[in-house]
A and B are shown apart, each in its own frame.
Chain A
Amino acid sequence: MTSPETVEARAAAFRATFQHVTEQVRVAFVGHHALVEQALIAFFCGGHTLIEGAPGLGKTLLVRTIAQSLRLSYSRVQCTPDLLPGDVTGTNILTDGPQGTRSFSFHKGPIFANVVLADEINRATPRTQSAFLEAMQEHQVTVFGTSHEIAAPFAVFATENPIEMEGTYPLPEAQLDRFFFKLLMPSPTTDELAEIIARTTGTTAVQPAPQVDASTVASMMALIREVPVADDVLRLALRLVRATHPDADEAPLRIRQYGRYGASPRAAQALILGAKAHALLKQRYHVAKDDIRAVAPAALRHRVLVNFQAEMEHVTADSLVADVLASVEAH
C-alpha cells in the first residue's frame, strides 16, 4: 500500500525534476515557456510531438535541447524527398562472419533512439513518413518480417514548416493522429529576440547539463498514470472529443459548417494523460476540468480536419477547437 506521504514525496520529486529539465532547456532555448512545458508534458506522457513554425524560430534547437537535458540517446532524421524508409528504420546488411561466412544482420536506423528528431517531416515522401508510423505507435520496427523493439522511453519530435508548400507532402491523417500534441511555435517577442541575439552572437556558449536518466523518466511516466480522474472530468474530455465530429449531436454550429472529420479516441487519451501531467505540475493529485481545458488545444488542433469551405474562408482548426471548448462548457 502506497501511503499518501510517499505519493506526496513522489509528486514533489516529479515537479522538481520537471522544473529542472525546463530550466536546462531554457539555458539554450529562449522564451515560449508554455510551448516548452507542453513539449515536456507530451514527452513524459510517452507521446510524440509535432512542432509547426516558420523557419529559424528554433524548432530543431528546442528538440535538441530537450534531448540534451535528458540523459537519453538522441538522433536526428533530416527528411528530404529522396529519403527512403530504410534510411529511417534500418535495414539488413550483408556482413562477413568470423569464418568467412556471410549473413544478413540488421543495422538499426536512426529511429532506434530515445529521442528522435524528424526534421521537416512534411518534406519526406508518404512512403518514408509511413516508416515512422509503426515505430510511433508500437515502439517497434518490422524489417523483412522481423520485429525489432525500440527501447523505452521513445519519443518522436517532428517539425514542419507551414510556409513552403512546394516539394512537400502533407502528413496523412493516420500519421497526424499518432502525434500526442501539435504545438505552434510563434515568432519571438522583441525582448526574446534580444536575448537570442545576446546568447548566439557572443563568445559564451552554454550547454544544458543532463541529470535525468531513463529510470527517472520511467518513474515519472508511471506517476502520471496514477493520477485519478473523476467521472465528471472524464465526461468533459469525452464530450470535447465527440463535439469535434460534424455529425455529432454535441457539435457546435461552426463544426457542422466547417469540420470535415473529428478527433479519434487517441485524442481522448492525449487529453486525459496530458491533463494528468498538468495536474501534477499544478500541485494537484487529481485532474480538474481546468487541466483538460489547458491541454485541449494542443491535443485537438491537428485532429480536427477542416473542409474546403473553411480553407476558403481562412477558418483555422484552432478557432474550431475554441468553439468546441466554449460550446461544451456552456452545456
Chain B
Amino acid sequence: MAIDAALRAALRPFERRALTVAFVTALSVSLLVVALISELGWLVGVRNGLALVALIAVAVVGSGIFAVSRRPAPLTLARVIDERAHLSDLVVSAIGCEGDGMAAAVRRSAIAALRQEPAAAAFPHGMPRHWRRWVLAAAVVQVAAVPLAVRAPATRAPQPDLSSLTLPTANGQANSTAKTGQPETPASSPTPLTSNGPSAPGSIEPPRATSLSGKLTQTNDGVSINGNAIDRLRLAAANAGVEMAAGRVPLARRAIVERYFAAIQTERKRPR
C-alpha cells in the first residue's frame, strides 16, 4: 500500500516513539532476567563481573532487536493512534485513501491531526504486557533460590589454605603429624590440620587418632583439646577445618570458619 509522503512523515514521530517504548519495555524485562541470573550465580559461587557486563550487553542488544522486529506496520500504527487520540478512524482512512478530491481532504485532515497530537500521548510508557507473570516468575525464582543458598557446597568457594596452618603444641612449637597410626614425634615442620597433609578440595580424608601433644589429640571426630579459650578456639577451627576439607560445612558457616583460621594465624604470628 503506497502511503502519501507527507502522511508518512507525519507518522514518523509516532513510529519512533513506538519503537522507543517497545525497546524500554523489553529492556526492563531483560534486565530483570539478568538480575535473576546474576543472583543465582552469586548464590552458587559464580562471581564474575565480566560475565555480568556481558549479560547486560546481551540484554541491551536483544531488546533492540526485539523492538525492531516488533515494528508496527503503518496500518497498525494508524489504528492505535486513532483509538488513543480519538480520531474516529481518520488516520486509518487517510492511509487507505488514494487519489484527489475527498481522499486528499482526508489525508490533509489526518496530517493536521497528527501534527497536533503528541506522540507520547499515543504511546505512553507503561508496564510490560503480562507484567504480573514476570513478577510471579521472579518471586518463584527467589523462593527456589533459598534452599540453593543454604545447600550450596563450600568447595565452590575459595577456601583458606589449610595445609599452611598448624596446630601449636604445648611448648609453643609447631607439631607435626605422623602418617596413619604413628605416634607423634617432635618435628620442625608445621603440622597440617588435615590428617594426611594437604588434601584436595572436596576430598574426604578418613580421620585417624594421632597423639599430637599433651594438649592436642587428633581423633576420629577431629581434634580434641584441653585448655584455655584460645585452645578451644583452635579446636573449633580445627574441627571446622576438617569438615571444610571434607566438604561438609554449609555456606553460612564458612565465614565463621574463616574467622577462626584468621585468629589462629594471628596467634601464630604473636611473639611468645
Question: Chain A: residues with CB nearer than 8 A to chain B?
Answer: 1-4, 6-8, 11, 226-233, 284-290
With a CB–CB cut-off of 8 A, which chain B residues contact A1? 100-101
B104 interface residue per 8 A CB criterion: yes
Complex: how many Å from CA A73 to CA B48? 93
* Chain B residue at minimal CB-CB distance from A8: B105
A232 near B89 (CB under 8 angstroms)? yes
B93 near A287 (CB under 8 angstroms)? yes
Q: A228-B96, A230-B96 are in contact. Are A285 and B89 (CB under 8 A)?
A: no
Determine how close the nearest CB of chain A comes to the CB of B3; give it in whole angstroms: 13
B109 interface residue per 8 A CB criterion: yes
User: Which of A226, A233, A286, A290 touches B101 (beta carbons < 8 Å)?
Assistant: A226
User: Which of A6, A7, A233 touches B93 (beta carbons < 8 Å)?
Assistant: A233
Q: A232-B92, A233-B89 are in contact. Are A285 and B100 (CB under 8 A)?
A: no
**Would you give the 0/1 interface string for B68-98, flagging 1 where the beta carbon is closer than 8 Å to chain A?**
0000000000010000000011101111110
Complex: how many Å from CA A11 to CA B106? 12
With a CB–CB cut-off of 8 A, which chain B residues contact A233? 89, 92-93
Complex: how many Å from CA A290 to CA B103? 19
* Chain B residue at minimal CB-CB distance from A279: B88
Interface of B (DSSP majority class): helix
Complex: how many Å from CA A1 to CA B103? 11
Complex: how many Å from CA A223 to CA B128? 46
The tally of residues in B whose CB lies under 8 Å from a CB in A reads: 19
User: Which of B79, B94, B100 touches A286 (beta carbons < 8 Å)?
Assistant: B94
B156 interface residue per 8 A CB criterion: no
B88 near A228 (CB under 8 angstroms)? no
Interface contacts beyond A287-B93, A289-B88: sample of 11 additional A-B pairs, CB < 8 Å, sorted by A: A1-B101, A2-B101, A2-B102, A226-B101, A227-B102, A228-B106, A230-B89, A284-B109, A286-B89, A286-B93, A289-B89
B102 near A285 (CB under 8 angstroms)? yes
Determine how close the nearest CB of chain B comes to the CB of A282; give it in whole angstroms: 8
With a CB–CB cut-off of 8 A, which chain A residues contact B215? none
With a CB–CB cut-off of 8 A, which chain B residues contact A226? 101-102
A4 near B104 (CB under 8 angstroms)? yes
B108 interface residue per 8 A CB criterion: yes
A to B CB contacts below 8 Å, 7 in the list: A2-B100, A2-B104, A4-B105, A230-B93, A233-B92, A285-B109, A287-B89
B89 near A228 (CB under 8 angstroms)? no
Complex: how many Å from CA A7 to CA B109? 12
With a CB–CB cut-off of 8 A, which chain A residues contact B96? 228, 230-231
* Chain B residue at minimal CB-CB distance from A284: B88
Complex: how many Å from CA A230 to CA B101? 16
